[in-house]
């Protein structure tokens, strides 16, 4: 919301500078989005007073204006329609330069000299108003430069929190500013005194949706014009001036936070109604759109049908116009949820709906109506026709809350000063006082006993037994129930020997008013005040001598003794509702603070009163957490470091993909989770693989990054799991992508690193995959943790083409199921042998498809073999033709100390014969 | 018999001639090898009378030591006088270059964050990215009708028209989940991806990494929240950084504050924080009269933007390697 500093200041007893206002607002939940300051004006633009206005002899629309400031007099020619005697104006002296380098000179206009000019807001760069000259505050001193009058045209743009309807009003902001600047006071706007009637002139069919409806008919002067100060404030807030009546309702909405609506009464057909729309009912709203309504839309209607979408926007058919002579003014309260849903349904978030959505309090319509009536009278010469009818369908509750000082100190972690808190609350419009149980009780002594008394009926003028104790507890925000039976049931039992002040004492009592059916066990309650004293509201008392209840002469609130309860044969026990009444502040929230309901709301107020800058800084005194179960994320972070050390880039890509991405990587869109409300195509599905995201990444870098490189991402993927409450089975994935030549080797070296780092013992198997080249693709699985599995391979050129990638791409994706990967190694170290191993080289010739992994496994499984090292792979043209390759390796054999040549040969030939005999190696030859 | 002095002289003359290791080895073999004078003499020793044997042995041993010493000296001489041709030591180390990769800036921030919180005794807790409406909103005191829901634009998962499952809009969804599964006291951070249905521009991305903090225990206070955040912000942004609280509103905390940090002389918005709303504790099965707690949250990308002076957040989620290359 945009508000001019001037407007805010108009509600403050002491005017504040922009900086002071911003500083005050920064101590509240209001967020300053921007302070808009117009360009600095030339010093030569000064204040002056119009002392005389005469017609220009040679021009119809021009006038000769005499102005003065101090003892100086000047004459200027002016064409503004609003120039008149007594006005304080902005006078641009000759030689002054206005925005956009507009130089003011002394010149002749139609034969009359003009010493400079009187400027409009637009000419001064203070707004768009060019309809007339600026009308300044008549109290300003004359002859001073406008640029020295601080904040002339500053505007603050504020964001207000969802729980504070009151801050979405200029008056509400002024209240907060006042509370947060030293010794200021709010000046409430002028309001008419209204005598309300409550005739059902409006047929409110949905009283649950519309808890208050104030309406009245006014005759207005159709020639009235909206005064400049209203126009300026509306424009500062980004609204247009439309019609004086509409402008007033808009102004009152901005000022008080209460939207209202004016109908041209001559255009109405019969009485107003508030009801739900009929399905398909049509309504042309003020924005010129015809809307089809649903049964969930609350409307204002007359005999012709819907004439307004309640709380959202009025209808075109009853719109006020320049011909309007009589209006019906509506100031009502509508259900916040109904309004919000209607506004969303029709894509029509209006200024009004934004306010209703927050939930407006029931006293607000009166305040706003009285203000609107005053402005209508002042500006439109409005005369009330008939009565003002206030139809109220709910009780306007006010909030009593107790603030336990010790609790607040514990929550905030600092000592509080009770006096400071009470004063701070009062400055914010709260009523607040130190709560004293005995003083509170004493206030009610002697008030009459009325059976069934309640706040709605009797206020604090009469009580029955349960209402008296309920009332006392309500002062500190504790709800104990309406009846003595409820109070007995919900409190914490205490022994009669352990009573503390505030505990309630019960006996069965005298049953006259209730029939046997409605009786519970409990007939009477009183509140123990300490020192054998109890306060109660009673009609009967128990006469121990005769053992009977007798009617008291005067039934009222009185002190009695605890003994009179405990010695009563029907004494039922005692109940406790709070451990201590010490250091409690009893608070009543002002009607506009609908956000104050519970103690914690007051603790927050106390924090603001204290000021967060005055809050100390401490560290929690809790022991360190046991982290054994929380190793996944730290483990992944370690993996990140390893992969970066292995020379890879880390990337982060969005978790959602487009349908095209799925199709291009052979994923059936119906097999993955979809987004209900994506804003763009690329957000349509939740990915179950990182392949397409990584191909997109390569494509994005295709023309810019001409290097061979690899990158990785650690992210969760989502698989459909209809039985899960989140519909998804999520798992962590490591994806690695290599771009350019030697991708397989690049990725394999990273996999090898991971394998040894995390002791994965990976097993590779050749595999056929839709997106990968056959013969260059493998699935892999950890033999330590079988859930760790995945695949890697070279992406098919046909697949790459869909992403416009021309490089060679190798991609790997591995499931990281849980933190067991990162478990610290429990392996024992192995001591080195006291002698050297013997090494022998061996070269095999075998079919191409045989994996090195298998050869190594066979060799390693032989006795005495401690290590097999791959040396090289070789394929001559001739070999390639026959689909063969040669593989050389070095074999390390543990032959003990000082082995003989014979022994070594024996081990080697054992290996060779095993290799030759192995069927999985297929026609292997030893070279 | 040649005198011992003659032998030493001859040896020294031979060593002067020996200009490389190979020649020295030949010299060594000549004077100490099998056919050398010393070896010959040593072979004769067993035939001598005991007294003579002892005397001769002693002399031979001295000679042998002298020879060995001279050879060692000659070797050291040779090594220290060895000449190496001059080389350009500024040539790029291309052939043996060991490339180091590039960690994502947001990960870098998370890495530091984990470290700081771990040192404070926090656990770093993993959590799911798809959440139910209950945990993401309702349990956090945001019923369906709550206007605060609009503070976070939400994606929903297609579920036959029902809007009850969503990619989480914040990591706070984990608050009540963790409370249900653990007894206080606890202090954890929950980092992870969150999703907002917003238009993407220079300062907005529709997913980011949020870091959620949650501390619950007896006597946990807002002053402790302030102290913790000050410690952490200084840990991430340096000891010069400062923090301040501004009042704010979140349905799941009360009191609620905005967390600002001063970095390089400027106040910047960092995130939100506050004392856990008693309603939320209750929803997590924790007695709010006995226990209190605080929670906070901010974006890793936001911190990365502040720390590395990023102009365009989109670079973080639409990777371009020319850009990422600068982060080492």
Instruction: Quote the CA–CA distance of A753 and A747 in Å, as a whole number.
Output: 10
pLDDT at A263 over 70: yes
| pLDDT average, residue stretch B74-78 | 87
In this prediction, residue A517 carries a pLDDT of 57
Scanning every residue of chain A, which has its alpha carbon at the shortest distance from the alpha carbon of B99?
Answer: A647
Q: What does the DSSP assignment read for B184-213? A: SSEEEEEEEEEE-----BTTB-SEEEEEEE
Torsion over CA: B73, B76, B80, B84 (sign): positive
| pLDDT average, residue stretch A151-179 | 91
Label residue B96 by pLDDT band (50, 70, 90).
low
Q: Are residues B10 and B140 in the same domain?
A: no
In this prediction, residue A152 carries a pLDDT of 65
Tell me, yes or no, whether B95 lies in a domain: no
pLDDT at B140 over 80: yes
Q: Are residues B26 and B153 in the same domain?
A: no
The packing angle between helices A18-25 and A170-179, to 10°, is 90
Instruction: Quote the CA–CA distance of A733 and A814 in Å, as a whole number.
Output: 6
Distance (Å) from the alpha carbon of A91 to chain B's nearest alpha carbon: 40
Q: Are residues B190 and B317 in the same domain?
A: yes
Q: Are residues B61 and B138 in the same domain?
A: no
Q: Are residues B159 and B68 in the same domain?
A: no
Question: CATH number, domain at B152?
Answer: 3.30.930.10
Tell me, yes or no, whether B275 lies in a domain: yes
Label the pairing between strands A431-434 and A492-494.
unpaired
pLDDT at A359 over 60: yes
| pLDDT average, residue stretch A378-389 | 95
| pLDDT average, residue stretch A235-253 | 93
Tell me, yes or no, whether B94 lies in a domain: no
Interface probe with A: pick from B108, B124, B153, most Cβ of A within 10 Å: B124
CB contact under 8 A, B197 and A679: yes
Instruction: Quote the CA–CA distance of A555 and A451 in Å, as a whole number.
Output: 10
| pLDDT average, residue stretch A473-492 | 90
Tell me, yes or no, whether B86 lies in a domain: no
Which is more confidently placed, A571 or B215?
B215
Lowest mean pLDDT among A509-513, A888-892, B248-252: A509-513
Q: Which residues from A are below 8 Å from B319, CB to CB?
A: 649, 651-653, 697, 700-701, 711
| pLDDT average, residue stretch A873-889 | 89
Torsion over CA: A434, A435, A438, A439 (sign): positive
- Average pLDDT in chain A: 91
Of B34, B63, B80, the domain-final residue: B80
| pLDDT average, residue stretch B180-205 | 93
Q: Are residues B68 and B214 in the same domain?
A: no
Contact A482, A455 (CB under 8 A): no
Please name the residues in contact with A796: beta carbons below 8 A apart, sequence gap of 6 or more: A771, A772, A773
Q: Helix or strand or coil: residue A152?
A: coil
Distance (Å) from the alpha carbon of A161 to chain B's nearest alpha carbon: 6
pLDDT at A216 over 70: yes
Instruction: Quote the CA–CA distance of A343 and A358 in Å, as a whole number.
Output: 13
Distance (Å) from the alpha carbon of A499 to chain B's nearest alpha carbon: 22
Of B37, B64, B80, the domain-final residue: B80
Q: Are residues B210 and B319 in the same domain?
A: yes
Scanning every residue of chain A, which has its alpha carbon at the shortest distance from the alpha carbon of B232?
Answer: A619
Q: Are residues B42 and B121 in the same domain?
A: no
Tell me, yes or no, whether B89 lies in a domain: no
Q: How many CB pairs under 8 A join A and B?
A: 269
In this prediction, residue B328 carries a pLDDT of 78
Interface probe with B: pick from A340, A626, A726, A733, most Cβ of B within 10 Å: A726
Interface probe with A: pick from B217, B226, B279, B315, most Cβ of A within 10 Å: B226
Tokens of A7: 């407007």
Domains of chain A (ranges, CATH numbers): 2-37+157-179 (3.30.56), 45-153 (2.40.50.140), 196-392 (3.50.40.10), 436-580 (3.90.1720.10), 632-822 (3.30.930.10), 838-926 (3.30.70.380)
Tell me, yes or no, whether B88 lies in a domain: no
In this prediction, residue B250 carries a pLDDT of 93
CB contact under 8 A, A161 and B248: yes
Q: Which residues from B are below 8 Å from A733, CB to CB?
A: none
Scanning every residue of chain B, which has its alpha carbon at the shortest distance from the alpha carbon of A623?
Answer: B121
pLDDT at A264 over 90: yes
In this prediction, residue B77 carries a pLDDT of 86
Name all contacts of A73-79 with Cβ < 8 Å and 24+ positions apart: A74/A48, A74/A115, A74/A116, A75/A113, A75/A114, A75/A115, A76/A114, A76/A115, A76/A116, A76/A117, A76/A118, A77/A109, A77/A110, A77/A112, A77/A113, A77/A114, A77/A117, A78/A117, A78/A118, A78/A133
Q: Which residues from B are below 8 Å from A29, CB to CB?
A: 247-249, 256
Instruction: Look up tokens 């349509």; give the residue.
Output: A684
CB contact under 8 A, B121 and A625: yes
Q: Are residues B271 and B186 in the same domain?
A: yes
Scanning every residue of chain A, which has its alpha carbon at the shortest distance from the alpha carbon of B216?
Answer: A622
Q: Are residues B278 and B135 in the same domain?
A: yes
Q: Which residues from A are below 8 Å from B128, CB to CB?
A: 716, 726, 728, 730
Q: Which residues from B are below 8 Å from A753, CB to CB?
A: none
Q: How many domains does chain B have?
A: 2
Distance (Å) from the alpha carbon of B182 to chain A's nearest alpha carbon: 11
Instruction: Quote the CA–CA distance of A432 and A256 in Å, as a whole number.
Output: 24
Distance (Å) from the alpha carbon of A602 to chain B's nearest alpha carbon: 9
Q: Which residues from A are below 8 Å from B132, CB to CB?
A: 725-726
Q: Which residues from A are below 8 Å from B271, CB to CB?
A: none
pLDDT at B90 over 80: no
| pLDDT average, residue stretch A352-374 | 96
Tell me, yes or no, whether B91 lies in a domain: no
Contact A780, A792 (CB under 8 A): yes
Q: Which residues from B are below 8 Å from A413, CB to CB?
A: 221-224
Read off the pLDDT of residues A731-762 as tens digits, 9 standing for 90 and up: 999 999 999 888 888 899 899 999 989 999 99
pLDDT at A129 over 80: no
In this prediction, residue A151 carries a pLDDT of 60
Distance (Å) from the alpha carbon of B243 to chain A's nearest alpha carbon: 10
**Structural domain of B68:** 4-80
The H or E element that residue A77 is part of is strand A72-78
In this prediction, residue B98 carries a pLDDT of 57
In this prediction, residue B279 carries a pLDDT of 96
CB contact under 8 A, A620 and B187: yes
Instruction: Quote the CA–CA distance of A379 and A376 in Å, as a whole number.
Output: 5
What values do phi and psi take at A915, rounded to 5? -60, -45
Read off the pLDDT of residues A666-701 as tens digits, 9 standing for 90 and up: 999 999 999 999 989 999 999 999 999 999 999 999
Q: What does the DSSP assignment read for A168-227? A: GSHHHHHHHHHHTSTT--B-PPP-----EE----SEES-TTT-SEEEEEEEE--TT----
Q: Are residues B71 and B141 in the same domain?
A: no
Q: Are residues B170 and B24 in the same domain?
A: no
CB contact under 8 A, A607 and B247: yes
Instruction: Quote the CA–CA distance of B77 and B74 in Å, as a whole number.
Output: 5
| pLDDT average, residue stretch A762-782 | 92
Q: Helix or strand or coil: residue A479?
A: coil
Lowest mean pLDDT among A144-148, A571-575, A840-844: A144-148
Q: Which residues from A are below 8 Å from B146, CB to CB?
A: 162
């Amino acid at each position: 919301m945009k508000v001019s500093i001037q407007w805010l200041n108009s509600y403050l007893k002491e005017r504040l500078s922009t900086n002071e206002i911003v500083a005050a607002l920064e101590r509240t939940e209001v967020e300053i989005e921007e302070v808009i300051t117009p360009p600095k004006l030339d010093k030569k633009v000064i204040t002056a007073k119009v002392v005389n206005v005469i017609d220009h002899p040679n021009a119809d629309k021009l006038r000769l204006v005499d102005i003065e400031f101090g003892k100086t007099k000047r004459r200027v020619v002016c064409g503004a329609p609003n120039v008149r005697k007594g006005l304080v104006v902005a006078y641009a002296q000759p030689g002054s330069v206005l925005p956009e380098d507009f130089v003011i000179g002394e010149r002749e206009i139609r034969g009359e000299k003009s010493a400079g000019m009187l400027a409009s807001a637009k000419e001064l760069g203070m707004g768009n108003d060019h309809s007339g000259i600026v009308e300044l505050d008549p109290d300003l001193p004359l002859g001073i430069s406008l640029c020295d009058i601080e904040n002339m045209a500053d505007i603050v743009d504020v964001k207000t929190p969802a729980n504070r309807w009151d801050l979405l009003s200029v008056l509400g902001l002024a209240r907060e500013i006042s509370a947060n600047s030293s010794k200021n006071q709010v000046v409430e706007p002028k309001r008419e005194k209204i005598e309300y009637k409550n005739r059902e002139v409006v047929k409110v069919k949905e009283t649950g949706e519309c808890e208050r409806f104030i309406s009245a008919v006014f005759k207005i002067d159709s020639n009235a014009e909206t005064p400049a100060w209203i126009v300026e404030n509306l424009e500062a807030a980004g609204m247009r001036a439309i019609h004086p009546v509409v402008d007033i309702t808009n102004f009152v909405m901005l000022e008080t936070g209460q939207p209202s609506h004016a109908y041209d009464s001559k255009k109405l057909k019969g009485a107003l109604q508030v009801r739900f729309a009929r399905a398909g009912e049509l309504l042309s709203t003020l924005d010129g759109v015809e809307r089809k309504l649903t049964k969930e839309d609350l409307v204002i209607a007359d005999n012709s049908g819907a004439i307004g979408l309640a709380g959202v926007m009025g209808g075109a058919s009853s719109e006020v116009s320049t011909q309007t002579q009589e209006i019906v003014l509506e100031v009502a309260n509508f259900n916040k949820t109904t309004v919000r849903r209607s506004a969303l349904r029709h894509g029509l978030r209006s200024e009004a709906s934004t306010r209703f959505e927050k939930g407006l309090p029931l006293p607000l319509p009166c305040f706003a109506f009285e203000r609107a009536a005053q402005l209508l009278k002042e500006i439109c010469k409005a005369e009330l026709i008939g009565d003002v009818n206030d139809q109220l369908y709910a009780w306007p509750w006010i909030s009593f809350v107790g603030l336990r000082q010790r609790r607040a100190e514990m929550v905030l972690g600092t000592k509080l000063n009770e006096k400071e808190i009470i004063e701070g609350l009062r400055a914010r419009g709260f009523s607040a006082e130190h709560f004293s149980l005995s003083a509170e009780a004493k206030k009610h002594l002697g008030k009459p006993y009325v059976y069934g008394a309640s706040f709605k009926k009797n206020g604090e003028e009469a009580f029955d037994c349960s209402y008296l104790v309920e009332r006392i507890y309500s002062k500190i925000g504790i709800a104990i129930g309406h009846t003595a039976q409820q109070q007995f049931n919900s409190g914490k039992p205490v022994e009669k020997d352990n009573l503390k002040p505030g505990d309630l004492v019960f006996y069965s009592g005298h049953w006259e008013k209730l029939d046997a059916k409605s009786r519970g066990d409990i007939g009477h309650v009183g509140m123990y005040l300490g020192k054998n004293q109890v306060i109660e509201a009673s009609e009967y008392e128990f006469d121990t001598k005769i053992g009977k209840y007798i009617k008291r002469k005067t039934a009222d609130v009185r002190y009695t003794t605890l003994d009179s309860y405990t010695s009563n044969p029907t004494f039922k026990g005692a109940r406790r509702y709070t451990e201590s009444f010490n250091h409690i502040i009893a608070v009543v929230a002002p009607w506009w603070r609908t956000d104050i309901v519970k103690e914690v709301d007051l603790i927050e107020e106390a924090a603001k009163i204290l000021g967060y800058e005055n809050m100390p800084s401490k560290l929690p005194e809790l022991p360190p957490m046991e982290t054994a179960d929380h190793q996944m994320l730290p483990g992944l972070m370690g993996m990140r470091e390893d992969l970066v050390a292995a020379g890879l880039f880390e990337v982060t890509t969005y978790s959602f993909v487009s349908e095209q991405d799925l199709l291009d990587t052979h994923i059936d869109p119906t097999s993955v989770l979809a987004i209900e409300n994506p804003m763009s195509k690329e957000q349509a599905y939740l990915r179950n693989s990182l392949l397409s995201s990584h191909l997109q990444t390569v494509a994005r870098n295709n023309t810019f990054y001409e290097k061979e490189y690899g990158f990785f991402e650690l992210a969760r993927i989502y698989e459909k799991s209809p039985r899960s409450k989140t519909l998804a089975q999520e798992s962590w994935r490591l994806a690695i992508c290599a771009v350019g030549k030697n991708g397989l080797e690049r990725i394999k070296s990273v996999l090898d690193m991971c394998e040894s780092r995390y002791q994965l013992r990976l097993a590779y198997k050749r595999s056929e995959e839709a997106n990968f080249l056959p013969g260059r693709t493998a699935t892999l699985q950890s033999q330590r943790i079988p859930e760790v599995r995945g695949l890697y391979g070279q992406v098919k050129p046909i697949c790459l083409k869909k992403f416009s990638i021309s490089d060679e791409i190798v991609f790997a994706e591995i499931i990281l199921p849980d933190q067991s990967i990162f478990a610290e190694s429990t392996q024992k170290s192995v001591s080195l042998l006291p002698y050297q191993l013997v090494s022998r080289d061996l070269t095999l010739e075998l079919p191409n498809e045989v994996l090195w992994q298998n050869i190594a496994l066979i060799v390693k499984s032989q006795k005495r073999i401690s290590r097999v090292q791959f040396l090289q792979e070789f394929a001559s043209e001739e070999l390639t033709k026959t689909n063969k390759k040669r593989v050389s390796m070095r074999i390390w054999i543990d032959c003990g100390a000082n082995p003989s040549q014979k022994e070594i040969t024996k081990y080697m030939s054992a290996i060779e014969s095993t290799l030759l005999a192995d069927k999985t190696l297929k026609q292997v030859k030893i070279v | 018999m040649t005198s011992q002095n003659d032998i030493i002289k001859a040896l020294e003359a031979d060593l002067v001639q020996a200009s490389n290791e190979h020649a020295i080895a030949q010299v060594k073999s000549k004077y100490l090898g099998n056919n050398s004078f010393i070896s010959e003499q040593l072979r004769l020793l067993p035939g001598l009378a005991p007294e003579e044997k002892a005397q001769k042995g002693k002399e031979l041993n001295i000679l042998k030591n002298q020879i060995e010493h001279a050879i060692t000296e000659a070797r050291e001489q040779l090594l220290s006088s060895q000449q190496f041709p001059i080389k350009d030591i500024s040539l790029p180390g291309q052939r043996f270059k060991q490339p180091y990769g590039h960690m994502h800036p947001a990960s870098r921030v998370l890495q530091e964050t984990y470290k700081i919180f771990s040192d404070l005794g926090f656990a770093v807790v993993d959590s799911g990215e798809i959440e139910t409406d209950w945990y993401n909103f309702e349990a956090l005191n945001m019923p369906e009708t709550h206007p605060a829901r609009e503070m976070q634009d939400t994606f929903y998962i297609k579920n036959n028209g029902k809007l009850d499952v969503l990619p989480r809009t914040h990591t706070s969804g984990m608050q009540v989940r963790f409370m249900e599964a653990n007894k206080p006291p606890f202090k954890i951070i929950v980092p992870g991806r969150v999703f907002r249905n917003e238009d993407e521009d220079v300062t907005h991305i529709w997913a980011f990494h949020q870091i959620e903090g949650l501390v619950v225990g007896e006597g946990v206070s807002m002053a402790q929240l302030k102290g913790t955040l000050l410690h952490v912000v200084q840990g991430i942004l340096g000891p010069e950084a400062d923090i301040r609280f501004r009042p704010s509103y979140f349905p799941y905390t009360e009191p609620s504050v905005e967390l600002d940090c001063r970095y390089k002389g400027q106040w910047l918005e960092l995130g939100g924080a506050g004392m856990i709303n008693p309603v939320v504790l209750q929803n997590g099965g924790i007695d709010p009269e006995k226990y209190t707690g605080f929670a906070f949250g901010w974006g890793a990308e936001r911190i990365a933007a502040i720390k590395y002076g990023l102009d365009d957040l989109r670079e973080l989620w639409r990777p371009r390697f020319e850009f990422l290359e600068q982060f080492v």
